Amino acid sequence: MRNCKLSWALVVVLLIIVALFAYKFTVGNVQPSDDGRLAVLLSKDERNTLLLEMRDWLQNTQSILAAASEKDIDTVIRIAKASGMGAEADVPGSLFRKLPVEMKALGFDTRGKFDEIAADAEKFRDGSRVIAQLSSTMKNCIACHATYRFVEETR
């Protein structure tokens, strides 16, 4: 009987720990901001990593637009792939854990859209289609910037 109670107590403790981790994974490390957005609290290195990733997306977007307007589809494919899911491996786990689930979803969707641009460019070789897809992708960028700001944690 004692072993059964101990087993159930262990199960309850483990469930509480899993629930806490799931909650933290879902909510992220955020607090309300005075500008109406959510402030995502990050270390200096995590913030710099995230801002670099966003600058890369912006630069790659401009490069894709330039290549599509010049009908240089091979460059479109190469650059779009560089912003796709393959680049996700470079994101530190500590940063990923601090992002709210909605922001993670936007990020994954954005990477997926870049992969879709690359695949469709390879299949259809149509610059106009690339530009339309990139326009749709930019809606994710706008949604993210309208919802979140990235603040360095103070300790």
CATH topology of domain 29-152: Four Helix Bundle (Hemerythrin (Met), subunit A) (1.20.120)
pLDDT the model gives residue 18: 62
pLDDT digits (tens, 9 = 90+) for 120-147: 999 999 999 999 999 999 999 999 999 9
Q: What are phi and psi of 8, to 5 degrees?
A: -65, -40
**3-state secondary structure (DSSP) of residue 1:** coil
| Cα separation, 91 vs 64, whole angstroms | 23
In terms of phi and psi (left: phi > 0; alpha: psi -120 to 50; beta: otherwise), the region of 107 is alpha
In this prediction, residues 5-23 reach a mean pLDDT of 70
pLDDT single digits (tens) 17-65: 765 565 555 668 999 999 999 999 999 999 999 999 999 999 999 999 9
CA-to-CA dists, residue 16 to 4, 11, 21, 98, 119, angstroms: 18, 9, 9, 20, 43
Reduced to 3 states (helix: H, G, I; strand: E, B; else coil), residue 151 is strand
- The dihedral over CA atoms of 111, 115, 120, 122, expressed in degrees to the nearest 10, equals 150
Confidence of residue 1 (pLDDT cuts 50, 70, 90): low
Lowest mean pLDDT among 76-80, 95-99, 118-122, 134-138: 95-99
Q: Spell out the domain ranges in the chain.
A: 29-152
pTM here is 0.83
